[in-house]
Structure 1
Amino acid sequence: MTDTLKLILEDTDGTQLETSCTRVAVMWQGKELWIQQDGRGQLLIGVDVEEGDAEYANLLLRPLATNLVSLQLEMEPADLSDDEDGEEGHVHGPDCNH
């Protein structure tokens, strides 16, 4: 498997441009929505969170029809309080699965 995405970009007049990349982002509701392939045939979709953001982004995927899904972006307040270990908030690391 490869981690390269083959993109087809289409203008409003229907003109298509084919290209490829490793990751692509779409600005959606003021956030960067990143799409990439993981090399095992799975498509990964995530939202970048900036340092100091007061909200987390949740992506909700719902089936609409046989070949359609709805993707919704919801913002949820971030818990910036101390955790049980006395550390301030959550620190993202390679093992946190975020």
Structure 2
Amino acid sequence: MSDALQLILEDTDGTQLETSCTRFAVVWQGRELWIQQNNGQLLIGVDIEDGDSEYANLLLRPMATNLVSLQLEMEPVEADEEDDEHVHGPDCGH
């Protein structure tokens, strides 16, 4: 299964641009909302900022025709020096 997401971007005038990527972000209320496919699920997560004690991930799983499961996962932010240097990649699972 490919981790590529097929995107359709649309301008206000209705012009559409089709593209694909493995991960993309939407800036919403000043935070980056990252969306990617992970093991057949759609993972939606918010980047953390200084002072955050938890981060949230929404998992959208296909269940059957026209049905999906939505699960919210809250995970503690680990204060680790290595995490400060972490760069997201296709194998990190974030």
TM-score bracket, normalised by the shorter chain, equals: 0.5 to 0.7
Bigger Cα Rg: 1
RMSD over equivalenced CA pairs, Å? 3.1
Q: Which has more strand, going by share of residues?
A: 2
Q: Structure 2 CA distance, aligned partners of 1:25 and 1:12?
A: 19
Report Cα offsets for 1:3-34 as digits up to 9, x if no partner: 00000000001110000001000000110000
Figure out how many residues of one structure are paired with residues of the other and give that number. Answer: 68
Query: Which residue of structure 2 aligns with residue 31 of structure 1?
Result: 31
State percent identity of aligned pairs. 64
Q: Which has more helix, going by share of residues?
A: 2
Q: Structure 2 CA distance, aligned partners of 1:21 and 1:14?
A: 21
| TM-score, normalised with respect to structure 2 | 0.56
Question: Which amino acid counterpart does residue 2 of structure 1 have in structure 2?
Answer: S
Structure 2 portions without partners, runs of 5+: 59-65, 67-75, 84-92
Runs ≥4 residues deviating over 6 A:
none
